[in-house]
Structure 1
């Protein structure tokens, strides 16, 4: 089991991504030591919340709408949304600790206080989010797992989408951005099966970024390498 799944009640969940990359800078180590604890959304991990008591989002965010970003990468989109939407609370999940450290530095620089950070698997967050509590969710440039035998590892599978749908409010928006055509195919097949409608009426609805979009480092890499971004918007029925 992973370090986030040591409790005997925790379900077995395979995890295929990286937990840590290159050596962290001294400043990033400081962000993790000084800031991560106070930005926790609450008792998410099985070791500290084996009964899976739901998070009290009203206490955390003061009754504001709550958004969720799954795999926030370096955190630029998450901080951008927090700055643009101070009346919204945002929770981000990211198991890659280097990305978490990058986000914490951006939070310090922006001075925003409406963010919470879970440095782990989004599936653990789904366990403790109240049903129908999230107003918007983002899945931006997720790991494409390009080999066919690895497609089951993608986020857009029932293992991830079913619990996501459960915590989203009726009418909630789910945004997916990817530059991988086959990921688009799988997304358009799997997401509607979990009770979502694709809100596209014409090509511009998936070719053009959202009005409040900020291009991420992953998107810039895709553009440099000649891949075309796709912007898919779904609404929970």
Structure 2
């Protein structure tokens, strides 16, 4: 499937990885990695066989899991759920794998790359919950089209969501909230709640802590896929 080349994320590499993080990538990632997602692996863009995911419960997706704090927490708190995490930032993947190395979660599958590749091959209506937590805000006006909450990203997400699926969005950028309220609703979701604090099962992440340190107000939005 064709798509615009614009990325909704920034760099994919940060500071030099520690030896332990390199080991996690070499030894632990193959165990958690979701295969047949990228164009190189699946040039025909054949629909993903959900039997490839661990377990048999409902499927949740986290778009850009950062260091994996929330992903691992949710997987451990919901062992009957199959949780896919997508993250193109190598250092974040390594951090998440470190958490999984210390506290394994067999119901996690990781795609260490662009979530758009995954959305291309997911069966329609297979996702029951989606998390977009403190995404890259692209604060400059000329970069707003790079945000995830634009039609080129939301249309395939909506296609992959089941009727009634929950879409959670957290951000500390007021203009991101504005754009989300416009675009997510247009994409086929209803707004269920907009709160100044996280959900009942929320775990504080370093991105939320940074926002609070810098006196930015977090916003927590809950949307529901219309059916």
User: Which residue number corresponds to residue 34 of structure 1?
Assistant: 27
Q: Does structure 2 retain, via aligned residues, the 8 Å contact 1:41–1:60?
A: yes
Q: Does structure 2 retain, via aligned residues, the 8 Å contact 1:10–1:50?
A: no
TM-score (norm 1): 0.92
User: Which residue number corresponds to residue 155 of structure 2?
Assistant: 162
Are residue 212 (structure 1) and residue 205 (structure 2) matched? no
Q: In structure 2, how many angstroms separate the alpha carbons of the residues matched to 1:80 and 1:91?
A: 13
Q: How far did 1:91 drift? A: 0.4
Report matched runs for 1:57-206 at 5 Å. 57-200=50-193, 205-206=194-195
User: Which residue number corresponds to residue 5 of structure 1?
Assistant: none
Q: How far did 1:59 drift? A: 4.0
Q: Greater RCO between the two (CA within 8 Å, min separation 6)?
A: 2
Residues 56 and 103 from structure 1, CA distance in 2 versus in 1: closer, same or farther, beyond 3 angstroms? same
Coordinate RMSD, CA, aligned: 1.2
Are residue 236 (structure 1) and residue 217 (structure 2) matched? no
Spell out, residue by residue over 1:167-223, the C-alpha distance to the aligned partner (whole angstroms, 9 max, x if none).
0110000000000000000000100001100003xxxx4112100000100000000
Residues 198 and 35 from structure 1, CA distance in 2 versus in 1: closer, same or farther, beyond 3 angstroms? same
TM-score (norm 2): 0.96
Q: Secondary structure at the residue paired with 1:21?
A: coil
Q: Does structure 1 retain, via aligned residues, the 8 Å contact 2:54–2:109?
A: no
> How many residues align structurally?
225
Q: How far did 1:58 drift? A: 3.2
Q: Secondary structure at the residue paired with 1:91?
A: strand
Q: Secondary structure at the residue paired with 2:222?
A: strand
Q: In structure 2, how many angstroms separate the alpha carbons of the residues matched to 1:93 and 1:162?
A: 18
Q: Does structure 2 retain, via aligned residues, the 8 Å contact 1:10–1:46?
A: no
Are residue 226 (structure 1) and residue 215 (structure 2) matched? yes
Unaligned residue ranges in structure 1 (runs of 5+): 1-8
Q: Secondary structure at the residue paired with 2:72?
A: helix
Residues 186 and 10 from structure 1, CA distance in 2 versus in 1: closer, same or farther, beyond 3 angstroms? closer
Q: Does structure 1 retain, via aligned residues, the 8 Å contact 2:55–2:81?
A: no
Q: Does structure 2 retain, via aligned residues, the 8 Å contact 1:58–1:64?
A: no
Spell out, residue by residue over 1:50-98, the C-alpha distance to the aligned partner (whole angstroms, 9 max, x if none).
1111122134233211100000001000000001000001001110000
Q: Does structure 1 retain, via aligned residues, the 8 Å contact 2:87–2:111?
A: yes
Q: How far did 1:17 drift? A: 1.1
Larger mean CA deviation between 52-61 and 122-131 belongs to 52-61
Unaligned residue ranges in structure 2 (runs of 5+): none
Q: How far did 1:10 drift? A: 6.1
Q: In structure 2, how many angstroms separate the alpha carbons of the residues matched to 1:192 and 1:165?
A: 11
2:47 to 46, 54, 70: 54
